[in-house]
Amino acid sequence: MNMDVGVGAPSRAPLQGRSRASFERMVTAAADLLIQRGSDDFTIADVSKAGKVSIGSIYGRFDSKDDLIRAVQARALAEIDSEMTEGLSAASSRSKSLDALVRNLIESLAEVLRRHSPIMRPLMLRATFDETVSTVGKRSYAATEEQFRSMLLSRMEEIRHPDPERAARAIFRIVYAALARYLGFGSATTAAWEGDWQMLKEDLEAMSSAFLRHGR
């Protein structure tokens, strides 16, 4: 898996063999601790114990816990971005109308976020004060927004909104914000799992379709 996502990617990741396996255990242990604790409230010693690797080995790969957490983010986003790209593309290819496209795109977006919500929650909380984590996260968000928006605009002939570009951008941002709040991302941790997930998706789909079809 490619973890080179730019800013914050680890600089001393090994390429093969036992060193690679040890490196993966470090990152996996840190990811598991983030999920279990819901935050970065753990130490390198905790990672050492959970991953069965020495503290010296960890510092041989990472300068600090901050660098290790950024490696966790790099790996998580590589997987999320891959799933998101594939899911949105599949949603677009099987949609025969604008309404079907809206429904399938939102369903795909929502379910990728839900599957990865255990690791996304602590990473997005970390992004509220870690500029590097925030920058990398925004880059991933922007790529998903661009793909989502361009797929909506591929049905331009069915859109009645007077400014399709603005409408498509607004839909993505509003839908993402509603899903993120439900899943408890960032500072919305206390709002996690409020309401009915399926109903939320259906309402977002209906509102988005109506918005795109609404003329001046």
- DSSP conformation class of 129: T
- Quick one: pLDDT at residue 18? 72
Q: Report the alpha-carbon distance of residue 53 to residue 29 in Å, rounded.
A: 10
Dihedral of the CA atoms 183, 184, 188, 192 (nearest 10)? Answer: 80
- pLDDT in the model for residue 100: 97
Determine the pLDDT at residue 113: 98
The pLDDT value given to residue 3? 45
Instruction: Tell me the Cα Rg of the chain.
Output: 19
For residue 9, the model assigns a pLDDT of 46
Q: For position 80, what pLDDT does the model report?
A: 98
CB 84 within 8 A of CB 144: yes
Q: Please give the pLDDT value at position 194.
A: 78
Q: What are the extents of the domains in the chain?
A: 73-213
CA 73, distance to chain mean position in Å, is 10
Q: What is the rounded distance in angstroms from the CA atom of residue 5 to the CA atom of residue 116?
A: 18
Residues of the chain with confidence (pLDDT) below 50: 1-11
Which residue in the block uniquely carries the two structure tokens 């790099």? 74
Q: What is the pLDDT of residues 159-203, one digit of tens each?
A: 999 999 999 999 999 999 999 999 999 766 666 677 899 999 999
44-51 vs 17-37: helix crossing angle, rounded to 10: 120
Fold of 73-213: Tetracycline Repressor; domain 2 (1.10.357)
Q: Taking the CB of residue 206, how many other CB atoms lie within 10 A of it?
A: 13
Q: What is the pLDDT of residue 186?
A: 77
In whole angstroms, what separates CA 165 from the centre of its chain?
A: 23
Contact 62, 10 (CB under 8 A): yes
The pLDDT, as a whole number, for residue 193 is 72
DSSP state of 9: -
Instruction: Check: pTM over 0.85? Answer yes or no.
Output: yes
pLDDT for residue 216: 66
